[in-house]
Amino acid sequence: MSTGFWVNRMRSLPVFGALLHRIETQPLPTTEESILLRILSQAMVIAGIIATDTAAETQTSLWAIPLSIAGAYWSWLHRRKANVAIKFCIAIGMLGALALFFVALRQQLNDTRLILAELLIQLQVLHSFHMPRRQDLGYSMVIGLILIGVASTLSQTMLFGAILLVFLAIALPVLVLDYRSRLNLATSEMRRSPFNQPGLSIRRLGLFLGAILALGLTIFMFMPRLPGYQLRTFPVSAPLNQQFEDNQQVVNPGYVRNGKAGGGNLQSGKGLGPGEVDETFYYGFNTRMNQNLRGEMKPKIVMRVRSQAEGFWRVLAFDQYLGQGWEVSRNSETKTITRPTWSYQFFLPRPITLNKVQEVIQTYTIVSEVPNLLPALTQPKELFFPTTQIAIDTEDGLRSPLILPEGLTYTVISEVPYRDRTRLGKAPTKYRQGIRNHYLEVPSGIQDKVRKQTEALLATAQNPLTNPYEKALFLAQALKISYSVQPELPYLNPKEDLVEAFLFKYKGGYPDHFSTALTVMLRSIGIPSRLVAGYGSGQFNSFTGLYEVSNTDAYAITEVYFPKYGWFAFDPIPGHELIPPSIEEDQTFTVLQQFWKWIAGWLPSPVSNFLGGIFSTTVGSLVGAIAWLVGQFNQGWIGLFTLLLCAVAGGFACWLLLQSWKRWQYQRFLKKLTPIERLYQEMLDWLKIQRMVKRTAQTPFEFMQATVQSQSVQRGATIEAISQAYVRWRYGGQPSDNLQELRNQLRNLKKRSSN
């Protein structure tokens, strides 16, 4: 049956027939005739679709590009028709898209950005089949703009920046054409030459684009990067139905999978003996760490991290030293934690501490497959993860039931402790039995020798070191200075101890060997410590706001235990900061700081040092002010009242500054005038305050006559005398002989009016 048959059947129904008749008899809308505007608005939508797919690293929306182009072409051909049937089809299609949206929303409650983008893309495809008016093209432009905005929140690479530039280059002529269309300009020229519009020269648009980019980058450089995640809905991947078969197992693809030896050349599962480092996976992410491996990894980005603070992304810790490596001795005590099926949230055990802590939220996106160990900042308290189970070992390491696959996203909330050197220096040195049993053990064959070497290094300090914190700090620095990295280190003999060879034979070793040496040295003098493996913070990308972490950023450092305060890290590796970055490192003005470092590299040292001091003071003050303002929101009504008072005081101060600036500008303006012109202008300004304003069309005589009639005799005489003197100078070139007398008369008038 034909479409006409069904239309006639619907026309015979009372309700539908009346509705169809009403639609068909409506006047046709004014159509948009600019082909270039249609093409460019469609290009904006295409750029938004590509940006969304690129940012989400998917190809699920590319189908919409050819369909929307076909729809836009069909709409152009039928722009002067009522298109009743296509409108009904579009309405039905939009209802179907809405139904699909709700289905997807039910399955993916944790992060709805991509689902919303897909809904917009589907609506745009349907909408593209009926766009007769300029307003319809405006809807498409808005959809393209929203898609770019969604892509900006999803993007984790610099590729989005290139697409954003293309979008901006398209948007500029679209704005010009849209404005001309609103004013109904040059419609005949559009028909004759649709691609040669006035005001759309490439040179002019290029200048505008350059100016906008320069201004945008300047604003971006000075814009503070305030901590995000104020809303408590965090990015998490879609649910994964995977549970533990064995929560004691760590699966590192480069070394051991399901208990079998991998690329690390491990000896019969013992994890010791000579071998080669895997090129992709860090050797330390396992329950046993073999430090008799040689070689190096090839750099490869493994994850991107969005975090409120920079830090060491901690993975796992080792408590038992084996002579040539480390082991998690209590791996059998690993516990499994199960979350409810309706929530992604795991609540983790929280240590009791006297430390002041700061909540730091981190979101990790896995770029390349990594072991089933979850990186996190120290002291995680909540984990948002797609599986229903995770495991936590005795050294506070988090484990997943599966290897972390590419594209996996999860979020961690940590209570990161502040590092108070004074308080940690006063920490007690009486350790409970569990700490002494696991974190003070040193092989008996090297204990005395290592202890004597440690005490000899401590004796070189200028002042006696009396507490464990200062000793750990000094020893970490001493290892950086007294020992060196040995890239060509030979294999250790089966009976040779790593720390002994490091301290006395080779005077150095691989980077991780420094941390092993520091850990054993601290244990030899009675300070509990353990080895911790994880990732350095990585390279911070100022454009995306993400830390890009590579496999080569993985290394081991030393954690030292302080009773009542917990574990704190020290990094003895040469070339690294002595204290790993933490919440004390502020990222508010990161872009500006990086720009300043680039500028300072070109300046002489005295100049850069002087300007650097000013820059540091200014940035520090801004950071302190912003931190104080943000902190007031957490103080309840008192904080809000304080902010209100500050806002009122700040507004009043700005008003005073504005008035002062206006007065300064006014005085500058008067100084540029001749004496008689200045006097006449002062009189006009005073009369304006008295609600007597000279209109532009009035001559000085006309204004004088209109003003004198409403004034007293003395005021009128003064106004008339000044006006007459101004006219004689302005039109006759005659200077005024009694200028000072006239100025005194005006001053007296002002005084009387103020009294």
Question: Among 675, 682, 672, 720, which residue's Cα sits nearest to residue 700?
Answer: 720
Mean pLDDT to the nearest integer, 332-337: 92
* Cα–Cα distance for residue pair 500/321, rounded to 1 Å: 13
Answer with the residue of higher pLDDT: 663 or 201. 663
pLDDT band at 627 (very low <50, low <70, confident <90, very high): low
Question: Among 458, 494, 325, 334, which residue's Cα sits nearest to residue 401?
Answer: 334
**pLDDT tens, position by position, 112-126:** 777 888 888 888 888
pLDDT band at 380 (very low <50, low <70, confident <90, very high): very high
* Cα–Cα distance for residue pair 551/89, rounded to 1 Å: 52
Which sign does the torsion angle of CA 478, 479, 484, 490 carry? positive
> Which residues have a Cβ under 8 Å from the Cβ of 374 and sit 6 or more positions away?
315, 364, 383, 385, 390, 398, 399, 400, 404, 410, 412
Q: What is the DSSP string of 339-373?
A: --TT--EEEPP----SS-EEEEEEEEEESS-B-SE
* Cα–Cα distance for residue pair 394/734, rounded to 1 Å: 99
**Long-range pairs, 729-737, Cβ under 8 A, ≥24:** 729/674, 729/676, 729/677, 730/677, 730/700, 735/676, 736/675, 736/676
- Cβ-in-10-Å burial (0-12, 13-18, 19+) of 541 comes to middle
DSSP code for 467: S
Length of the chain, in residues: 755
Token digits for 562? 């302080």
User: Under DSSP, is residue 392 helix (H, G, I), strand (E, B) or coil?
Assistant: strand
**pLDDT tens, position by position, 214-234:** 887 777 666 655 554 444 557
The confidence score (pLDDT) of residue 131 equals: 85
Could you tell me the domains of the chain? 31-222 (no CATH), 256-423 (no CATH), 424-535+554-584 (3.10.620.30), 673-754 (no CATH)
Single-letter amino acid, residue 623: V
CA 730 to chain centre: 62
pLDDT band at 449 (very low <50, low <70, confident <90, very high): very high
The confidence score (pLDDT) of residue 715 equals: 76
* Cα–Cα distance for residue pair 199/206, rounded to 1 Å: 12
Question: Residue 141: pLDDT above 60?
Answer: yes
Token digits for 122? 């589907």
**pLDDT tens, position by position, 35-71:** 888 888 888 899 888 888 887 777 778 888 899 889 8
Percent of the chain exceeding pLDDT 90 equals 32
Question: Residue 162: pLDDT above 50?
Answer: yes
The confidence score (pLDDT) of residue 610 equals: 60
pLDDT band at 320 (very low <50, low <70, confident <90, very high): very high
* Cα–Cα distance for residue pair 541/307, rounded to 1 Å: 12
Contact 160, 51 (CB under 8 A): yes
Least confident segment among 19-33, 162-176, 596-610: 596-610
**pLDDT tens, position by position, 340-350:** 888 889 999 98
Answer with the residue of higher pLDDT: 213 or 480. 480
The confidence score (pLDDT) of residue 115 equals: 83
In the Cβ-directed half-sphere of 473, how many Cα atoms lie within 13 Å? Answer: 13
* Cα–Cα distance for residue pair 632/401, rounded to 1 Å: 41
The confidence score (pLDDT) of residue 18 equals: 65
Answer with the residue of higher pLDDT: 752 or 478. 478
Q: Of the segments 193-197, 259-263, 358-362, which one has the largest average pLDDT value?
A: 358-362
The confidence score (pLDDT) of residue 528 equals: 96
Token digits for 43? 């290009």
The confidence score (pLDDT) of residue 264 equals: 40
Question: Residue 572: pLDDT above 70?
Answer: yes
Which sign does the torsion angle of CA 659, 660, 665, 667 carry? positive
Question: Residue 196: pLDDT above 80?
Answer: no
Name the β-bridge partners of 320. Answer: 327
Mean pLDDT to the nearest integer, 241-259: 77
Q: Are strands 380-384 and 325-327 parallel, antiparallel or unpaired?
A: unpaired
Which sign does the torsion angle of CA 103, 109, 111, 112 carry? positive
Mean pLDDT to the nearest integer, 566-593: 78
Which sign does the torsion angle of CA 13, 18, 19, 22 carry? positive
Say whether pTM exceeds 0.75.
no
* Cα–Cα distance for residue pair 47/51, rounded to 1 Å: 6
Q: Of the segments 92-96, 565-569, 690-694, which one has the largest average pLDDT value?
A: 565-569
Question: Residue 385: pLDDT above 70?
Answer: yes
Question: Residue 483: pLDDT above 90?
Answer: yes
The confidence score (pLDDT) of residue 651 equals: 83
The average confidence (pLDDT) of the chain is: 82
* Cα–Cα distance for residue pair 704/719, rounded to 1 Å: 7
**pLDDT tens, position by position, 272-308:** 788 899 999 999 999 999 999 998 999 999 999 988 8
The confidence score (pLDDT) of residue 664 equals: 87
Least confident segment among 138-147, 467-476, 703-712: 703-712
Mean pLDDT to the nearest integer, 719-736: 81
Mean pLDDT to the nearest integer, 244-272: 62
Least confident segment among 4-13, 155-164, 533-542, 672-681: 4-13
**CA distances (Å), 246 to each of 242, 383, 536, in order?**
12, 20, 29
- H-assigned helices in 243-299: none
Question: Residue 471: pLDDT above 90?
Answer: yes
**CA distances (Å), 459 to each of 463, 519, 521, 674, in order?**
9, 19, 14, 82
DSSP code for 30: P
The confidence score (pLDDT) of residue 192 equals: 47
Q: Of the segments 102-111, 227-236, 596-605, 615-624, which one has the largest average pLDDT value?
A: 102-111
Question: Among 46, 41, 224, which residue's Cα sits nearest to residue 591?
Answer: 224
* Cα–Cα distance for residue pair 479/573, rounded to 1 Å: 8
Mean pLDDT to the nearest integer, 203-215: 81
Answer with the residue of higher pLDDT: 9 or 273. 273
> Which residues have a Cβ under 8 Å from the Cβ of 496 and sit 6 or more positions away?
324
